[in-house]
C-alpha cells in the first residue's frame, strides 16, 4: 500500500471491523477493503453498491462467468493482484471452462467494444457493467500497490463470495446507484481537491503525466512516482486524483461501449 492513510487512516468503526475480521480469520484485512472503506462518502459507498449488484445481482451471466470477465479484464489491464484474486474466485463461484460461445464473444466485446451479433444487447450491457467495475479496481490496485499477504487470497475470496461483495452499511454509509452516480460522487461533489482538478484528472490532464499514466498504463506507476507526489501533495489529494483518473478512464470505456450497443 503506497499511501499510509489507506492503511491506517480509517474511522474507528472501520478499524474495529478490520480488527474483528483479523481475529476471526487469522489474517489482516486486504488492500481492496482498506481503499474502498477509506472515506466511503467520496467514492467507496457508491462503488461498493455498484460492485455488489454487478457481481452478484440478477444477471444473464452466472457468478462464475462474471468472475471470468473480471479476470479477463484484469489480465488485459496488467493487474496481477486482481487477476490472481479473480482466478481464485473462479474456483469458488464456479469455473465456466470451457466457456460457452456467448461468454467468449462478450470477452472479446469488452476488449474491442465491437458488439457481436450472437449475444443479446442486455447480456452485453451486463458484461460492460463488470468491465466498468474492474477498469476502476485494476487501476487503483496498480497505482496504490495492492499486494496479497499470506492467507489473504483464500480468506478474502471466500468472504467476498459468501457476502456477495457487500460490506455492512455501518461501514460504508449511504450510497447507491450506477455509473452516473459514481461519476457525480467522484467528479462533481465537494471533496479535499477542487472539482476542476478531479475532472482534469479524469481526462488524464493533471499533475504532469501522473493522471495520464493511471488512465493508460497504471501498471507502470511506481513507489517513486507516489513518493514524488507526496512531497508536494497530501495523501488525501493523491487518493482523490488517482481515483478520479481511474474512474474517468473506466467511464470513458463504459460510455463508448454503451454508445456502440445503441447503434
| Residue 43 DSSP symbol | T
CB neighbours of residue 100 within 10 Å: 11
From CA 239, how far away is CA 195, in angstroms rounded?
Answer: 14
pTM exceeding the 0.85 threshold for the entire prediction: yes
Residue of 132, 116, 123 whose CA lies nearest to 60: 123
Integer distance in angstroms from the first to the last C-alpha of the chain?
42
> CA dist 78 to 25, 134, 147, 170, Å?
29, 11, 14, 34
Backbone angles phi, psi at 10, to 5 degrees: -85, 160
**Helices (DSSP H) in the chain: which residue ranges?**
4-8, 12-25, 31-36, 44-56, 63-76, 80-93, 101-112, 121-143, 152-162, 169-172, 179-187, 195-202, 210-217, 223-230, 235-262
Per-residue pLDDT of the chain (263 residues; tens, 9 = 90+): 899 999 999 999 999 999 999 999 999 999 999 999 999 999 999 999 999 999 999 999 999 999 999 999 999 999 999 999 999 999 999 999 999 999 999 999 999 999 998 899 999 999 999 999 999 999 999 999 999 999 999 999 999 999 999 999 889 988 888 999 999 999 999 999 999 999 999 999 999 999 999 999 999 999 999 999 999 999 999 999 999 999 999 999 999 999 999 98
Angle among Cα 124, 109, 93 to the nearest 5 degrees reads 65
DSSP states of 79-110: -HHHHHHHHHHHHHH---PSPPHHHHHHHHHH
- Tell the residue number behind the cell numbers 477509506, with chain if given: 38
Amino acid at each position: 500500500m503506497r499511501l499510509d492513510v489507506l492503511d491506517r487512516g480509517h474511522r474507528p468503526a472501520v478499524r474495529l471491523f478490520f480488527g474483528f475480521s483479523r481475529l476471526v480469520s487469522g489474517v489482516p484485512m486486504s488492500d481492496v477493503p482498506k481503499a474502498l472503506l477509506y472515506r466511503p462518502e467520496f467514492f467507496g459507498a457508491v462503488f461498493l453498491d455498484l460492485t455488489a449488484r454487478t457481481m452478484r445481482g440478477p444477471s444473464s451471466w452466472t457468478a462464475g462467468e462474471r468472475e471470468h470477465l473480471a479476470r479477463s479484464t484484469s489480465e488485459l489491464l496488467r493487474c496481477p493482484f486482481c487477476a490472481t484474486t479473480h482466478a481464485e474466485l473462479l474456483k469458488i463461484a464456479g469455473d465456466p471452462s470451457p466457456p460457452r460461445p456467448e461468454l467468449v464473444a462478450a470477452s472479446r466485446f469488452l476488449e474491442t467494444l465491437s458488439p457481436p451479433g450472437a449475444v443479446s444487447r442486455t447480456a452485453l450491457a451486463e458484461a460492460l457493467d463488470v468491465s466498468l467495475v474492474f477498469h476502476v479496481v485494476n487501476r487503483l490496485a496498480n497505482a496504490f500497490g495492492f499486494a496479497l499477504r499470506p492467507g489473504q487470497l483464500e480468506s478474502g475470496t471466500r468472504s467476498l463470495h459468501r457476502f456477495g461483495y457487500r460490506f455492512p452499511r455501518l461501514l460504508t454509509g449511504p450510497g447507491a446507484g450506477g455509473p452516473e452516480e459514481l461519476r457525480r460522487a467522484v467528479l462533481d461533489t465537494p471533496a479535499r481537491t477542487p472539482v476542476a482538478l478531479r475532472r482534469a484528472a479524469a481526462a488524464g490532464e493533471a499533475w504532469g503525466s501522473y493522471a495520464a499514466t493511471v488512465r493508460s498504463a497504471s501498471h507502470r506507476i511506481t513507489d517513486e512516482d507516489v513518493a514524488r507526489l507526496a512531497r508536494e501533495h497530501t495523501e488525501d489529494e493523491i487518493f482523490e486524483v488517482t481515483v478520479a483518473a481511474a474512474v474517468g478512464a473506466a467511464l470513458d470505456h463504459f460510455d463508448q461501449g454503451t454508445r456502440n450497443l445503441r447503434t
